[in-house]
């Protein structure tokens, strides 16, 4: 989380537990990636907890900063459309989601390249963590990132995933409006919290499946 080490570790623990339970409710291999999203957010939040406590250790801080940046900049634009693509049943929407996945893959690899060649630093700004690197925040790349992540949710034929995408987009607007300097940290937290709702989705889906039997 973006406000303290304790909050980050607590959020990480709760989300990881929710993710484990969610994955246990996934019935097919195609559901597993989407079901793992809370767990992945939990790991990411725990990593940011390490960033918080590592400011006295240059090596540990660097490792944690790069690990967090991998999740935030590389994993999500690739993994989000991929997980939604696997769930999609409509052939036409599948074709669109393949394009979104290709876009996300391009964005993720582009950002990975600059993460590797250009140093990333983390520092505390207004009780949140700011991750700084000159190539991570160009407006054009941010727009493509949003299209790959939020856009893929909106293309899905699943109403819950549509709602999840709307929440992601609204959380980005709030984060960029009120927390510009610490956008990366704050938006990832705002996105992580509703990811716990994925557990509720799979629980409801599981109950509905039992009723149909």
- 133-158 average pLDDT score: 89
End-to-end CA distance of the chain: 41
In this predicted structure, the answer to whether residue 1 has a pLDDT above a threshold of 50 is: no
Q: Decide which of 208 and 24 is more confident.
A: 24
- Please give the pLDDT value at position 176: 78
Residue 106 DSSP SS3: helix
In this predicted structure, the answer to whether residue 40 has a pLDDT above a threshold of 50 is: yes
Residue 210's pLDDT band (boundaries 50, 70, 90)?
very low
Q: Decide which of 28 and 212 is more confident.
A: 28
In this predicted structure, the answer to whether residue 168 has a pLDDT above a threshold of 60 is: yes
- Please give the pLDDT value at position 206: 57
- Cα–Cα dist 194/199, whole Å: 10
DSSP conformational letter for 77:
H
- Please give the pLDDT value at position 2: 52
Q: Tokens at residue 57, please?
A: 């250790």
**8 Å CB contact between 192 and 15:** yes
**8 Å CB contact between 41 and 113:** no
Phi-psi category of residue 158: left, alpha or beta, with phi > 0 → left and psi -120 to 50 → alpha: beta
**Per-residue pLDDT tens digits for 82-134:** 999 999 999 999 999 999 999 999 999 999 999 999 888 888 887 788 888 87
Residue 2 DSSP SS3: coil
**Per-residue pLDDT tens digits for 3-37:** 678 888 888 888 888 889 889 888 899 999 999 99
Angle at 139 (CA atoms; ends 180, 182), nearest 5 degrees: 20
């Amino acid at each position: 989380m973006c406000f303290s080490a304790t909050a980050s570790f607590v959020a990480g623990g709760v989300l990881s537990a929710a993710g484990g339970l969610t994955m246990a409710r996934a019935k097919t291999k195609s559901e597993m990636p989407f079901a793992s999203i809370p767990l992945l957010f939990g790991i990411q939040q725990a990593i940011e907890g390490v960033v918080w406590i590592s400011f006295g250790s240059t090596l540990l801080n660097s490792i944690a900063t790069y690990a967090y940046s991998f999740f935030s900049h590389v994993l999500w634009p690739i993994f989000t459309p991929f997980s939604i693509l696997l769930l999609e049943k409509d052939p036409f929407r599948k074709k669109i989601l393949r394009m979104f996945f290709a876009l996300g893959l391009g964005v993720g690899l582009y950002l990975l390249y600059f993460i590797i060649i250009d140093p990333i630093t983390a520092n505390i700004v207004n009780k949140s963590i700011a991750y700084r690197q000159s190539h991570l925040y160009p407006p054009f790349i941010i727009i493509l990132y949003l299209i790959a992540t939020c856009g893929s949710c909106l293309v899905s034929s699943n109403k819950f995933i549509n709602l999840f995408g709307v929440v992601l987009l609204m959380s980005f607007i709030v984060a960029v409006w009120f927390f510009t300097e610490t956008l990366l940290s704050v938006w990832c937290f705002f996105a992580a919290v509703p990811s716990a709702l994925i557990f509720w989705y799979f629980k409801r889906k599981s109950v509905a499946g039992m009723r149909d039997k």
